[in-house]
Each structure stands twice: as C-alpha cells, then as structure tokens.
Amino acid sequence: MNAELALERLLQLCVSGDRMATRTFIEQVQRHGMTSTRLSQELYWPAMQTIFRMWRQDQLSKLAHQYSTRILRMLVDQAQAGYEQSSRNGRSLLCICGGNESEDLAGQLCADLLEASGYEVFFAASGVANDELLCEIGQRRPDAVVVFAAAASDAPRIRHLIDTVRTLQANPGMPIICGGGVFARAPGLAEEIGADATADDPFAVERMVRCALATPRMTARTATATTTASVSNRRRSAVA
C-alpha cells in the first residue's frame, strides 16, 4: 500500500471525525501487512505533525482539530497493544510533555514506544508543577527524563526544570533528553537550555535515550558545573 496515499486518506478521515470509517480504513491497511510500529511511524506520527502544523497556522477549525486529535488518540491507544515488546532492560524513565493536547498525544506515543523498547516508563504528561517533578525525580531516581514539547512557550519552564534538577542535584548524572517540534524548529535550543540530547520525533527519542544511557553518567560535580556555566545570547533569545 502506498504510504503517501494512505496518509492523505487518514488525514481526511481524522478531520471529518468519522471514527468508524477510520477504524475500517486502518483494518484494511493492516491486512496489507503494516504492523503497529509501521502504522505509528509512517501514518500516525506524520498525521500528528500535519494536524499540529495546520492548527498552528490557523488552517483548521477548532472542531476539525478536536476531531483529529481524538481519533489519533484512539489509534495510538490501539497501536500500543500491538507493539512488539522487547525484554525489560532494568532502566526507568520519567516522561513529561508540553501543555496542549497535541503535545500530550505526541508524548503518549513517545512513552508507548519507549516502553515497548524495554524501559519502565512513568508518563506524567503535562500540567505537573516543577516542584512536584523535582520531588518525583529525587524519590524515584529514574535513569533519564524525557521531555517532549512542540510549542516555543514550553521552553522557559523546561529550562527552569533542568536548571533546578542540576542545581539541587536531585539525581546527579541523570540525562535529560528533549524532543518535539520546538526543538526541531530551533536547532541548538535543547543544548542551550541544558539538555543532554535532542531528537525530532518519538522514534529518534528512543535512539537518543539508548545512546545517553550507554555513556558514563556525569558526576555530581560535572552536573553542578553545567548549571553554573555562563548563558549564551542564543540561549536567552531562544527561551525568551
């Protein structure tokens, strides 16, 4: 099945709000041999990106946007049950995301893929205060934190969380990986706000997590030095 044509059809169904027709269409695609992972990679994620972009550019009505995000949520939920599950690797991750529903959906897809890759994932989604997240990091001590965000307005809060985690040494040496639209649109932003790695999409996030955990963890002294380094003009402008 031609993935480009399938994506075009999926977008039409999402915007229309026709849940039954969407399920029937996905069943047809699966009968052509497309696995749940391929569905997420070749259809669901590109559909999310297109819907998010059209919404930001005022090319979708509120109704069409809500139809689309809720149908995509249904599909992502269904796909998770079909992912091939890797053996548990003994590593845990705390995943958070930006504040709007589109980011929450992308964050869920990211968390589902990471869990299928063998990680124990705690998906806090959005809206949790930084002090609560800091407490959770200190108590649960995850091996890494993953932040998935699409909006530029998320950057200051993410920067504050990273700075606080480093300054207070809530979990010394713990890598923080950032992914999502805002980091794709602003190259270098993730590094400027103190993240250890960045990725454009949920599939690349999994690779970045694996790479980050394969390298030696920073010492507490290095982590502290990271937070006290001078802030460049580019960082200031990126998160202003």
DSSP result, 17-86: T-HHHHHHHHHHHHHTT--HHHIIIIIIHHHHHHHHHHHHTT-S-HHHHHHHHHHHHHHHHHHHHHSPPP
Instruction: Give pLDDT, residue 216.
Output: 59
Average pLDDT over residues 56-69: 95
Residue 151 has pLDDT above 90, yes or no: no
Burial (Cβ within 10 Å: 0-12, 13-18, ≥19) of residue 149? buried
Average pLDDT over residues 134-138: 93
pLDDT tens, residue by residue, 64-119:
999 999 999 999 999 999 999 999 999 999 999 887 888 899 899 999 999 999 99
Three-state SS at 99:
coil
Residue whose structure tokens are 């920073």 = 218
Q: Does 1.10.1240 match the CATH number of domain 3-82? A: yes
Q: How far apart are CA 118 and CA 72, in angstroms?
A: 24
Rounded to two decimals, the pTM is: 0.83
- Which sequence spans correspond to the domains of the chain? 3-82, 92-239
Residue 142 has pLDDT above 50, yes or no: yes
Residue 176 has pLDDT above 90, yes or no: yes
Instruction: Give pLDDT, residue 80.
Output: 94
Average pLDDT, the chain: 86
Instruction: Give pLDDT, residue 148.
Output: 86
Instruction: Give pLDDT, residue 26.
Output: 97
Average pLDDT over residues 215-223: 45
Instruction: Give pLDDT, residue 4.
Output: 93
Q: What's the CATH number for 92-239?
A: 3.40.50.280
